[in-house]
Structure 1
């Protein structure tokens, strides 16, 4: 028995859902998930992954909390302003679910660090909403054979997808680089951010993440979901691997920060 008696009591409601039971809750307990970015998208993703009973959560974010974050990052409180996001998220999440191990990682995702950051994790969730970071993670996940899920929210538009993930036929799903033309269609550079659209997108992502961790078939692998919240319209795109793109990515490996267009920030002094 992986779950303690206290954990079984704590999670009795999800365990009671048909098809889940103790065995699926134990799968979540065994999962090791790295979440990159503890901001507008990472906040709801982290809150519900932790509350759902994922065993280990790595929280990678080198930023601090600002007043203008509060409307879309409800894991934090006003007294947390100017404190490190990763550390405060770990503290707040533990207060809701002490059965999950929450590890704050105050490190920027960059070519020199990404390989070490992936060690020990089964799945990467990229909530950075930052193109160069997406590319670093994509390439590292291909090199180290790690599945990852990412998404973005732009005003009323959002998308989320599963990349480099195992498919039912034994193949691997498309990479982020394979899907760039499609993801660019959803990118909206107008100013502003709505808290509710970040929260809703995070919840959609968590539902798919939990299904993946519990081996529920027919999930996010190889799919991109796009949603227009303003008009309440959703599209599902089937992603196709691009053999040439994948071969080039494997041959090139992890590139330099300049090649990614990644601005390197000073290491956090903690």
Structure 2
């Protein structure tokens, strides 16, 4: 990063603890001042990263997010507060950054990242940080960064574990590597649960987000050895850090354009989509069926810890994996129709495909899961 003009008197006072580090100094701080960094998401990983990049003196920070602050975010998304619930995350994050460092130029991109404008957006920045939580966006960020010629820092979290790496296809000295070298193909739909389904220890975001911010500062200032070609894995329960070498995939195809990433990654398997076609009920239809003269058997396919949080009265708990593996097929009723539900409708669709294949022709599942049930049938139900 080329250094910016000289620091002002106020900036010298603010960044004095950086300026007395020989590897940073005045030149490094001027590089930070001149840097333009785009952060994907103002959520769990974006929150600490944004706070520390702003405090460090990154001159321009862009934020891409289309979501609003929800109460469930506050357990880990520390850039937001109670008074921000219902606000756009970008606006909430901007206001917090301004409280930390008024010298930062914050640019808001209140949008979902789409293939149509991703490369053009990335071209406006020097460095990208990706803390998104779904595979379709991760592949899109990777490919757009390659086409825009930008390095990016990637982070991921789940339950008690986090991962961080640096990807830069155009890195000097033939060290170029990208996300597809680590994951040539997206995992099968439903195999890797999202944080909203599997959970995440809130404080883990601080550990991984701070590492992402550290890597960004190293890249901007040109100091240290970045995680380029290395995957850092952190296990909070064991309190261990380890790094794994990532090598260029010799069979990898060059990225020449952007694709339909939802189709590439999939939300549910083809089998689940086919099973759900014509066998999907709305929450209202399920409610009516449960109050009819011949109610169906209601099966909750979530995990036991989720069943403890909330449930629909009369539901039987049989986790999806027990249905898909066939272990629980003998526990299902055969004398009446079965209605499956999960949190959002994805896992129940996968379980439905297994039931159809096993001969439960009249089985159905509930659209939108228990989240939709709480919103449309039982507003007093706690949600998570």
Same fold, TM-score > 0.5, yes or no: yes
Measure how far apart 1:181 and its partner are: 6.5
- Higher RCO structure (Cα 8 Å, ≥6 apart): 1
Structure 1 residues 87 and 203, CA, compared in 2 at 3 Å: closer, same or farther?
A: same
Relative to the length of structure 2, the TM-score reads 0.63
**Partners of 1:7 and 1:174 in 2: how far apart?**
36
Tell me, yes or no, if structure 1 residue 239 matches structure 2 residue 239. no
Alignment of 1:25-174 (within 5 A): 25-164=29-168, 167=171, 169=173, 171-174=174-177
- The 3-state SS of whatever aligns with 2:252 is helix
1: CA distance between counterparts of 2:22 and 2:158? Answer: 35
Q: Say if 2:60 and 2:106, in contact at 8 Å, map to a contact too.
A: yes
CA 1:246 to 1:174, structure 2 compared with 1: closer, same or farther past 3 Å?
farther
Q: TM (normalized to structure 1)?
A: 0.89
Residue segments in structure 1 that go unaligned for 5+ positions in a row: 264-270
- 1:216 pairs with 223, 236, 240, which one? 223
Partner residue of 1:177? 180
Count of aligned pairs between the two proteins = 257
Query: Which 4+ residue blocks in structure 1 deviate beyond 6 angstroms?
Result: 181-184
Deviations 1:207-240 (A, max 9, x none): 1111111101421222210111110121111221
Give the secondary-structure state (helix, strand or coil) at the position aligned to 2:162.
Answer: strand
Contact kept, 8 Å, 1:60 with 1:105, in 2: the verdict is yes
Deviations 1:177-229 (A, max 9, x none): 11016997xx9636212111111110111111111111014212222101111
Secondary structure of the residue aligned to 2:183 is helix
Measured after TM superposition, the shift of residue 40 of structure 1 is 0.6
Cα 1:164/1:113, change in 2 over 3 Å: same
Which whole-Å CA distance do the structure 1 matches of 2:218 and 2:169 have between them? 13
Task: Output the CA distance in 2 between the equivalents of 1:168 and 1:47.
Answer: 30
Mapped to 2, the partners of 1:151 and 1:129 lie a distance apart of 9
Structure 2: 5+ residue stretches without partners: 268-384
Which whole-Å CA distance do the structure 1 matches of 2:253 and 2:59 have between them?
Answer: 32
For residue 294 of structure 2, what is the aligned residue in structure 1?
none
Aligned mates of 1:9, 1:64 — CA distance in 2 = 35
Q: Which has the larger radius of gyration?
A: 2
- Taking a change above 3 Å as real, the CA distance of residues 176 and 155 of structure 1, as seen in their structure-2 partners, is same
Match of 2:214 in 1: 207
1:196 aligns with 2:199: no
User: Corresponding residue for 1:268?
Assistant: none
